[in-house]
Structure 1
Amino acid sequence: MSGDHDDLDAEVRRLLGEGDDLLEEDRSEGALARYHAAWERLPEPRTDHPVALDILAADGNSHFFRSDYAAARDALMTAMTFGGAVDNPYLRLRLGQCLFEAGDEREAANWLAGAYLLEGSKLFVDEDPKYLEFIRSQLQPPPGGWPEGW
């Protein structure tokens, strides 16, 4: 049985890696196909498998880059049911961005502010500045004002 499990894990991780490679090449449709294939190979309940979080995060990220914010939000909200996922600043960032783009500013502020508090502004360096500006508009400045570079 262990061999079957190892084979399944290797197959799922191979598909996940192929999806990541395709996403790097801006081939999000192919990436999504690989992520979905990896997800389908996981036995039920799928969310019991450690690699499921990686698949959901990659799927959400891929949908985000396709501007399919509802699908990205759904994948990332499922990812947030995993232990420790809410402490992942990158997942919080991406979920907050999806909510922002979908017009749910209240929830977006919760997730984006959490991402900022966990990781700081460096998490936002490669992101559209509107997200960091939005967070700033939602928070009270600290005593003495916002730090340099905020």
Structure 2
Amino acid sequence: MELSDELYDQIVSKLEQGDQYAEAGEYNKAIEKYESALNLVPLQKENWEVSLHIYTAMADSYFNLGNYQQANNNYEQALKCPDGLGNGYVWLGLGETYYELENMDKAKDALMSAYMLEGKEIFEDEDDKYFSLIQDSIG
């Protein structure tokens, strides 16, 4: 199943507008654009590849606003999308939100998944506290 070119272009356009707001630090405006992109995606949103990008971008914006529960919900949705489970960045974000929500067991599992998929490099631009959580578990 594929989206029509026209619909895909509309979705990507909203996604790109959201990214521009996010890069400018205007996360609430970014989330509005991401939500309008997601609203264009046909139902069973997690069946569409483009949803992975939308949920991840939304999660990042919520994370930057300090709304860790909403960020967590969106990373969880991203995992259900095509290629979601194999995406180390999604696992990293999920782990960081669990950490901030003080659910250390789930944080550890998710961060370990990110590490297994991507190696230590994925933690390079992140706060050291996240890698520290799994450091002892790495052979």
TM-score, with length taken from structure 2: 0.92
Paired with 1:6 and 1:112, the residues of 2 have a C-alpha distance of: 36
* Offset, 1:83: 3.5
Partners in 1 of 2:7 and 2:119 — Cα distance?
37
Which residue is equivalent to 1:8? 7
Deviations 1:66-96 (A, max 9, x none): 1111001111111111243111111100000
TM-superposed deviation, 1:116? 1.2
**Aligned equivalent of 2:54:** 55
Q: Which runs of 5+ in 2 are unaligned?
A: none
Q: CA–CA distance in 1 between the matches of 2:44 and 2:87?
A: 23
Structure with bigger RCO (C-alpha 8 Å, 6+ apart)? 2
| Equivalent in the alignment of 1:99 | 98
**Which structure would you say has the larger Rg?**
1
Percent of pairs with identical residues: 28
- Aligned residue number for residue 86 of structure 1: 85
> 2-side partners of 1:87 and 1:46: how far apart?
18
What is the identity, as a one-letter code, of the residue corresponding to 1:110?
Answer: D
Aligned to 1:133, the other structure's residue is in SS state helix
For residues 125 and 29 of structure 1, the distance between their equivalents in structure 2, rounded to whole angstroms, comes to 27
CA contact (8 A) 2:91 2:113 kept: yes
Q: Mapping of 1:103-114 within 5 angstroms?
A: 103-114=102-113
Counterpart in the other structure of 1:43: 42
- The list of structure 1 runs, each at least 4 consecutive aligned residues, that deviate by more than 3 angstroms after superposition, is none
TM-score w.r.t. the length of structure 1 is: 0.86
Match of 2:119?
Answer: 120
Deviation at 1:43, TM superposition (A): 2.2
Structure 1 gap ranges (5+): 143-150
Q: Deviations over 1:83-123 (max 9, x none)?
A: 43111111100000001100110010000011112212211
Question: Distance between the aligned counterparts of 1:50 and 1:83, measured in 2?
Answer: 5
